[in-house]
Amino acid sequence: MATGEAEPGTNSNWCRHIDCKVAIPVDDTAFPVVRIVLPRRTALGDLTLHFGHVATLARERGPMFVVNDARALDFTSFTAAHRREAAAGFANFVAELPGYVLGEAYISSSAVARGLLTAVRWMEPVPWPTQVFSSSESAMQWAYARVVATTATRIQTITR
């Protein structure tokens, strides 16, 4: 985390609004860019709650760009049960809220994890652009560039 950068989730008005204490923090202070920081380990059930929180945020605030920071995640602690829970939660989120994610970035300091995340998106594509990065700065720059591009496209569509 960069010097002076707030702990993810601590500035989230949304999280305070619904008085949540979540295992997976969601920082929406730069909305429509939402930063999610995956902890080192998650308990079963945390991912289901997480997708529910993000779905609530999407319904309340609207379409967003998601930056998933997985640098702290211990991938060896992510069991088959965790993977099933994540897959089911993600599939439900995509089915229930089409159009609410406009782009998604993943951050991992592990080249192997970045390769796996890229391969997962090749095998299971989603209806929005995704990109995998090694640094938070690169991921956030990409997300903000997507915000600008999407806004410009929407303005052109409206003014035609």
Q: Please state which architecture CATH assigns to domain 13-159.
A: 2-Layer Sandwich (3.30)
Q: What distance in Å separates the CA atoms of residue 135 and residue 154, rounded to the nearest whole number?
A: 29
For the chain, which residues make up each domain, given as ranges?
Answer: 13-159
Rg (CA), the chain: 15
Shortest CA distance to 31 belongs to which of 48, 50, 47, 54? Answer: 54
CB-CB contact of 118 with 136 (8 Å): no
Write out the two tokens for 55: 């779905």
What tens-digit pLDDT sequence spans the chain (160 residues)?
Answer: 343 343 444 444 445 444 456 678 888 999 999 999 988 888 888 888 888 889 999 999 999 999 999 999 888 888 999 989 989 998 998 888 888 999 999 999 999 999 988 998 898 888 899 999 999 999 999 999 999 988 766 655 656 6
Task: Kindly report whether the global pTM for this prediction surpasses the value 0.85.
Answer: no
Element spanning 92, H or E: helix 80-96
Q: Helix, strand, or coil here: 104? A: strand
